[in-house]
Amino acid sequence: MNKHQEQLLPSSMLLFPPRSKHLSLLLALLLFGFGFAVGIFSSFYLQTTPFSLSMAQLLLQPSAPSQSAVSASSPPRSVSAKPRIGLKEFVEPDVILHDMTDEELLWRASMIPKIQKRPFSRPPKVAFLFLTKGHLPLAPLWEKFFEGNEGFYSIYVHASPLNGSAPKGSVFHGRRVPSKAVQWGGMNMMEAERRLLANALLDVSNQRFVLLSEACIPLFNFPTIYSYLINSTKIYVQAYDLPGPTGRGRYMKKMKPLLKLEQWRKGSQWFEVDRSLAIEVISDDEYFPLFQRHCTSSCFADEHYLATHVSVRFPGRTANRSLTWVDWSKGGPHPARFLRRDVTVELLERMRNGSSCRYNGRSTRICFLFARKFLPNSLVRLMRFAPKLMDFKQRYEGRRG
């Protein structure tokens, strides 16, 4: 075959000479496979290349398409960004369970906004802090108390870590904070109280904080208690100097020189404070560590720490009384307990109006808003007398924001 004849042959015959048909077929398959692999690889590369390096941006285009054209012709691009966290999650969290340590929680709760004008409208709330050994046997009574007043209160429960949660539909459902074991009279009881305060402080709408137990009951309806607390110019921490073994006798000499014997105070565990004092309590790095180191065994920190702390640092802030009615007339380390047969209208009226005190500079007979220590079997008679006597049907009529 001369050179002129070769030029007249098809290109495929020049590439694969006719002398080896099998070899030509093999080479053609190899080339096809190579081309197929390159195509697959290129397609995969373009799909996984970041948007900033994609071919759409590498092509030189004279002008960008309009927003309407893009939205009309292009399918929505999948977005893997995290959900947006709004202001509500910071100022009024719906979920109170978290994985923060106590140190992290106290640090987070101690933050104070410097800008006083708020970018949102929320009514001030009262935080009800329940420090309990287990479940809440008097929950049905509290359910009646809170009913219809949503938006003006928050509930926080510190219970045994092994205790179950409240049933769905209850105002206590999902309101248990991360809890730890507590021993009566131990320093870990004060740690639990600070844990409750810190969790409640995460909601900036909470302005008043009251500590209660599973044996406490309300003595008035919600509007009365809410107005009493929100409008009060004082906090309610009892503090007094008591000579003898159950007062000054519990003072530890190792607390000197930071805390002297004459500064030692005793008071009711059941307190009510405002937001500024709550922040002072959970951020206290002076007296609280002192009590942790030295207030052990028979010191009973829950009766002395807060009373001493407030008396030394904020003596003019407190009304120096508790809002929780307790009967100590029988003596002993525990107050009187009320069984089913003890619950009468006369008893409840005596708790409600049997005292006189000062409120915002005026004399009043409403000195106690809560009472204890009611046992579980008292619930039946409480449900019979309390809702009508205390007029639980009343609702607070303030703005909900």
The predicted pLDDT at position 166 comes to: 82
The predicted pLDDT at position 99 comes to: 83
Find out whether 184 and 338 touch, Cβ atoms under 8 Å.
no
Q: In CATH, what is the architecture of 87-322?
A: Alpha-Beta Complex (3.90)
Q: Rounded to an integer, what distance in angstroms lies between the CA atom of residue 253 and that of residue 324? A: 31
Rg (CA), the chain: 36
Question: Cα-flanking dihedrals φ and ψ of residue 64, to 5°?
Answer: -80, 140
Cβ-in-10-Å burial (0-12, 13-18, 19+) of 43 comes to exposed
Which helix (H) or strand (E) covers residue 55, if one does?
helix 55-58
Half-sphere exposure of 135 toward its Cβ, with a 13 Å CA cutoff? 11
From first to last of its 401 residues, the chain has per-residue pLDDT tens of: 544 444 444 444 444 444 455 566 666 666 666 665 655 555 544 444 443 434 334 333 444 444 444 444 444 444 445 555 566 666 666 667 788 998 999 999 999 888 877 777 789 999 999 999 888 999 999 999 999 999 999 999 999 776 667 888 899 998 999 888 888 888 999 999 999 999 999 999 999 999 999 999 999 999 999 999 999 999 999 999 999 999 999 999 999 999 999 999 999 999 999 999 999 999 999 999 999 999 987 889 999 999 999 999 999 999 999 999 999 888 777 899 999 999 999 999 999 999 999 999 999 999 999 999 999 999 999 999 998 999 988 778 766 55
Q: Which one, of 116, 302, 106, 323, lies nearest residue 197 by Cα?
A: 106
Q: Each residue of 359-391: b (16+ CB within 10 Å) or e? A: beeeeeebbbbbbbbbeeebbebbeeebbebbe
Any idea what DSSP says for residue 27? Answer: H
The predicted pLDDT at position 42 comes to: 53
State the virtual CA torsion across 180, 212, 145, 126 in degrees, nearest 10: -90
The predicted pLDDT at position 190 comes to: 94
Q: How many CB atoms neighbour CB 354 within 10 A? A: 13
Any idea what DSSP says for residue 26? Answer: H
Q: Rounded to an integer, what distance in angstroms lies between the CA atom of residue 401 and that of residue 393? A: 22
Mapping DSSP onto H, E and C, the string for 288-354 reads: HHHHHHHCCHHHCHHHHHHHHHHHHHCCCCECCCCCEECCCCCCCCCCCCECHHHCCHHHHHHHHHC
Domain boundaries, the chain: 87-322
